Amino acid sequence: MNEVRVLPEIVANKIAAGEVVERPASVVKELIENAIDAGATMITVQVYDDGQYISVTDNGRGMSREDARLSIHRHTTSKIYDPQDLYNIKTLGFRGEALASIASVSQMSLITRKKKDMAGVRLDLRGGELTNMRSAPHPPGTTVQVQHLFFNTPARYKFLKSPRVEMQHVKRAIILQALVHPDISFCYKGKGPVILDLSATGNPLERIRDVFGNKTWKELLSIEWLEKNFSITGFVSRPEYSRKDKKHQFLFVNSRPVVDNTLFYAVRLAYQDLIESHRHPFAVIYVHIHPELIDVNVHPNKYEIRFKEERCIFNALREAVQNRLLELQGPAKIHIPSRTEDSSFSSLPVNGKPTEKTPLFPGPYSSSVKKGDSHFMSSLSSRKDDDSFVIAGQLFFTYVLVLKEEEVLIIDQHALHEKILYYKLKTQQNASSFRSQLLVPEVFEIESGMKKVFENKLVPRLKEIGYDVEFFGGNSYIIKSYPTVLKDVDHKTLVQDYLDDMMSGKTGESTGTVERYQEKLLILSSCKKAVKKGAKLKEYELYELIREYFKAPDKYQTCPHGRPVAMKLDRQEIDKYFHRDY
């Protein structure tokens, strides 16, 4: 018997399915792309039983009886005719390749009809094998039903995540297609209620509003960049509106959803020093480029592509976003530091103790660095105070340089202030758990289709934490009261972050979740209130900050996030470096 042999078609199909069909969302993506390529203007998706039932119906061109029979075999397509077509791909998916892969790991039915035909055709398959083919009634278009996904590959079924996570992936797959095709109406439902109902608008900005709500829509800025071989359009959020993770960043290249960390980094660079390092802007970016300048076949699911001129697109995207943000610069808006402000040293006057007595805790913590400030002095000035330490000044408007006895300390001003505030909030929380009423209740919106999850799971937890949240109509809710200990924070952002955590599974379901999230809220609150990187502190503010550090040195080794607060160099280490170890 030969050692080398041709694989049976059913085995080859299962191998191909392993590359294309990873989870229920993969099936939804492939079927929606096929519907779009077929010219559909209405697409209905139904998914339930944790993704074990999937149905995608479109009003596209449909297929003839013979085309339908061919479409379930591998290497059949209506879009590729010669090798050159591979370098000029303008469509999304290859109808036959996807159907064959999906059918090989499920029980699938395909019902389709062309407008000119009197009747449609239905094909039933089990594990890739055609079990039935007959005429069937159907409006013009196609319906694909997929059941018992991975029934014949149990090992792959075991790798699926929790039902909630899998349904999140399904919803995101639909949203991705909806964002780039606002001219198509999408309806997504489970076994019961409709989860997403998006009418065709033809306007990308209106589609963003329909998906993410008015709050996000109002915070968006349009961007545009035109080059000879490509163009960039899209929308990014104002610096003050950011999210805690990158899942609200969307990139489309030639109408294809793409994951490209390099281009996402270009967007993040444009926000340098405008938002906190752990926050991310909302972004929907559309890149249109000549098909010959990209390779879409480097990933089975087409989520990754290769650019021939990625550096040009990177620079263009960064400048497009940065230029739009610069337009906001002005009084009471944003400040983008100039290059000369990046590496600065601010030193203290030598006239003894601070004359201003305004406490750093609580109160306004920083004054923004302004153009024209003197940021470097050739000689360090310092002062010695009653606590036997010397504050030499600020380094890069981020670190405080302190001398104490035989040690030099470089202290991160944000990390230290964050930890001090955290302990103060912790003490207040232990002493009181009262709620405070908002003088003006805050209204916020949740994403379309999140109402049931929000009311059933999040609202009860928010109540335990100390928030009073009520339904306000549509997708809107109102915050009427809040935990007293969190009086100076953005409550709408905190609630949204909690919802994001819960949907991503980070809050957990076990006992003690509320207590853990109360702790998280304290950390987040102290982080938001603390002085930031790049803040130019006054003399009395530096004095009070460092005095607090030395009052409880054991507590302040790390900030609440675990980052170090101070770096210490003792006299012996310094002498050793300069070869003075004698």
Using CA atoms, how far apart are residues 552 and 564, in angstroms rounded to an integer? 15
Lowest mean pLDDT among 60-64, 300-304, 331-335: 331-335
Mean pLDDT of 399-409: 89
pLDDT (tens digit per residue) in 490-501? 787 777 777 777
**What's the DSSP call for residue 89?**
-
Lowest mean pLDDT among 116-120, 439-443, 487-491, 576-580: 487-491
Mean pLDDT of 95-107: 81
Q: How far apart are the first and last CA of the chain?
A: 80
Tell whether the model's pLDDT for residue 221 goes beyond 80.
yes
Residue 38 token pair = 């077929």
User: Which range scores top for mean pLDDT: 249-253, 300-304, 483-487?
Assistant: 249-253
Residue 196 token pair = 């997403």
- Give pLDDT, residue 514: 60
Mean pLDDT of 153-175: 90
pLDDT (tens digit per residue) in 512-558? 456 666 777 778 778 878 888 888 888 888 888 898 888 876 667 88
Q: pLDDT class for 220, splitting at 50, 70, 90?
A: very high
CATH 3.30.230.10 holds for 219-326: yes
Mean pLDDT of 398-425: 89
pLDDT (tens digit per residue) in 48-83? 999 999 999 999 999 999 999 988 887 666 655 555
Secondary-structure percent of the chain, ordered helix, strand, coil, rounded to 5: 35, 25, 40
Determine phi and psi for 175, rounding to 5 degrees. -60, -40
Using CA atoms, how far apart are residues 409 and 490, in angstroms rounded to an integer? 33
Tell whether the model's pLDDT for residue 309 goes beyond 60.
yes
Using CA atoms, how far apart are residues 366 and 201, in angstroms rounded to an integer? 45
- Give pLDDT, residue 364: 35
Using CA atoms, how far apart are residues 544 and 356, in angstroms rounded to an integer? 11
| Residue at token pair 């944000």 | 414
Mean pLDDT of 423-429: 75
Alpha helices per DSSP H over 271-345: 310-326
Q: E strand or H helix at 281, and its extent?
A: strand 280-281
CATH 3.30.1370.100 holds for 432-529: yes
CATH 3.30.230.10 holds for 9-201: no
* Mean pLDDT over each residue of the chain, to the nearest integer: 80
Lowest mean pLDDT among 168-172, 250-254, 314-318, 484-488: 484-488
- Give pLDDT, residue 510: 41
Tell whether the model's pLDDT for residue 291 goes beyond 90.
no
- Give pLDDT, residue 376: 32
Mean pLDDT of 334-362: 42
| Residue at token pair 């109408």 | 255
Burial class (CB in 10 A: 0-12, 13-18, 19+), 250: buried
**What's the DSSP call for residue 458?**
I
Cα-based torsion angle of the residue sequence 73, 78, 79, 81 in order, rounded to the nearest 10 degrees = 90
User: Which range scores top for mean pLDDT: 12-26, 269-283, 553-567?
Assistant: 269-283
Mean pLDDT of 143-153: 94
- Give pLDDT, residue 496: 77
For 418, 430, 485, the CA distances from 423, given in Å and listed in that order, are 9, 11, 12
- Give pLDDT, residue 91: 60
Tell whether the model's pLDDT for residue 367 goes beyond 50.
no
Lowest mean pLDDT among 45-54, 299-308, 450-459, 568-577: 299-308
Share of the chain above pLDDT 70, in %: 76
Of 215, 210, 191, the residue nearest 200 (C-alpha): 210
Domain boundaries, the chain: 9-201, 219-326, 339-419+533-577, 432-529
The fold adopted by the segment(s) 339-419+533-577 is formyl-coa transferase, domain 3 (3.30.1540)
Q: pLDDT class for 421, splitting at 50, 70, 90?
A: confident
The 3-state DSSP class for residue 198 equals: strand
User: Which range scores top for mean pLDDT: 174-178, 244-248, 562-566?
Assistant: 174-178
Tell whether the model's pLDDT for residue 404 goes beyond 90.
no
Residue 133 token pair = 């083919």
